[in-house]
């Protein structure tokens, strides 16, 4: 694992955007695995900025997002479709037909998971997967569990994830209780992984991820076994690591 220490969130975002830019420049029709949440917002802003300056062309890029809440429509401002469109896609020249996000409105979990697995397989896998890190060590919505789930599946969100997400909803009862998520095997099959982590509140879990045992109880710990992971974390997030 390559570890880059950033001064702060802004620095982290620029470093992460540089890595994604390099991927897009070197393979214009690459498959980017994308994430939502607060971690990648600055990265997307920076990419938009470079696109506006003429440095980046997304016209041939294909994307697959990690996850989506089950039950939310695309126009719900808390859906991950809405997030991706309004924080990234609408500002760049990506072909929306080349973007993929699990369909939160599909009530048949098996059907949607099978469809999404096929989408990823038909794309030929993921060239670069961007990941944020949950406070409980989750990646995508792969929550701590007794075993790693391999491919796209429907998860019951843990109380800690529901709690962390409630800031985005009017009340905790409005937070969806289930989500569709890419599985650990699919994430691990990405050719390259870019993990971005910011803030002191992630320092302990990041330490567990990097130095603890590889266990499904800390899902991101599996990344220790991937041979091309780049971690960009700010000083606060790395404050409990000897780095
Ligand atoms: C989002 C996702 C989640 C987040 C994680 C960290 O698509 O898959 O795993 O990356 O919950 O969220 P933030 O960045 O908001 O701290």
Q: Is the pLDDT of residue 45 over 90?
A: yes
pLDDT per residue over 123-143, tens digit each? Answer: 999 999 999 999 999 999 999
pLDDT at 53: 98
**SS3 assignment for the chain:** CEEEEECCHHHHHHHHHHHHHHHHHHCCCCEEEECCCCCCHHHHHHHHHHHHCCCCCCCCCEEEECEEECCCCCCCCCCHHHHHHHHCHHHCCCCHHHEECCCCCCCCHHHHHHHHHHHHHHCCCCCEEEECCCCCCCECCECCCCCCCCCCEEEECCHHHHHHHHHHCCCHHHCCCEEEECCHHHHHCCCEEEEEECCHHHHHHHHHHHHCCCECCEHHHHHHHCCCEEEEEECCCCCCCCC
Distance in Å, CA 197 to ligand 1 centroid: 10
Q: What is the mean pLDDT of residues 73-82?
A: 95
Structure tokens at 95: 């072909």
pLDDT per residue over 218-240, tens digit each? Answer: 999 999 999 999 999 999 999 99
Q: Is the pLDDT of residue 167 over 90?
A: no
**Is 208 a pocket residue for ligand 1 (Cβ < 6 Å)?**
no
**Is 37 a pocket residue for ligand 1 (Cβ < 6 Å)?**
yes
Instruction: Please provide the average confidence, as pLDDT, over all residues in the chain.
Output: 96
**Is 68 a pocket residue for ligand 1 (Cβ < 6 Å)?**
no
Q: Which of 9, 36, 44 to mutate to test the pocket of ligand 1 (most atoms within 8 A of CB)?
A: 36
Catalytic site includes residue 143? yes
Q: Is the pLDDT of residue 26 over 90?
A: yes
Residue 148 pLDDT class (50, 70, 90 cuts) = very high
pLDDT at 164: 79
Q: What is the mean pLDDT of residues 16-33?
A: 98
pLDDT at 242: 84
pLDDT at 183: 98
Distance in Å, CA 80 to ligand 1 centroid: 11
Are the CB atoms for 160 and 135 separated by under 8 Å? yes
Q: Is the pLDDT of residue 169 over 80?
A: yes
**pTM > 0.85:** yes
Q: Which of 79, 104, 133, 163 to mutate to test the pocket of ligand 1 (most atoms within 8 A of CB)?
A: 133
Catalytic site includes residue 136? yes
């Amino acid at each position: 694992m390559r570890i880059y220490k950033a001064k702060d969130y802004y620095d982290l975002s620029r470093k992460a955007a540089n890595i994604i830019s390099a991927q897009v420049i070197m393979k214009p029709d690459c498959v980017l695995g994308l994430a939502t949440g607060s971690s990648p917002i600055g990265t997307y802003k920076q990419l938009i900025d470079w696109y506006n300056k003429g440095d980046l062309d997304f016209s041939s890029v294909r994307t697959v997002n990690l996850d989506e809440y089950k039950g939310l429509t695309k126009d719900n401002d808390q859906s991950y479709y809405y997030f991706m469109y309004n924080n990234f896609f609408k500002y760049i020249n990506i072909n929306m037909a080349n973007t993929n996000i699990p369909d939160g409105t599909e009530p048949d979990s098996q059907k949607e998971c099978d469809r999404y697995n096929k989408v990823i397989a038909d794309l030929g896998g993921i060239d670069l997967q961007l990941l944020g890190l949950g406070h409980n060590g989750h990646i995508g919505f792969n929550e701590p569990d007794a075993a790693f789930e391999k491919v796209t599946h429907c998860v019951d969100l843990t109380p800690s994830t529901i709690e962390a997400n409630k800031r985005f909803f009017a009340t905790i009862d409005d937070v969806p209780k289930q989500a569709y998520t890419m599985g650990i095997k699919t994430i691990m099959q990405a050719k390259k992984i870019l993990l971005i982590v910011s803030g002191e509140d992630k320092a302990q879990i990041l330490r567990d991820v990097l130095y603890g045992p590889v266990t499904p109880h800390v899902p991101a710990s599996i990344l220790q076994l991937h041979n091309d992971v780049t971690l960009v974390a700010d000083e606060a997030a790395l404050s409990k690591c000897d780095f």
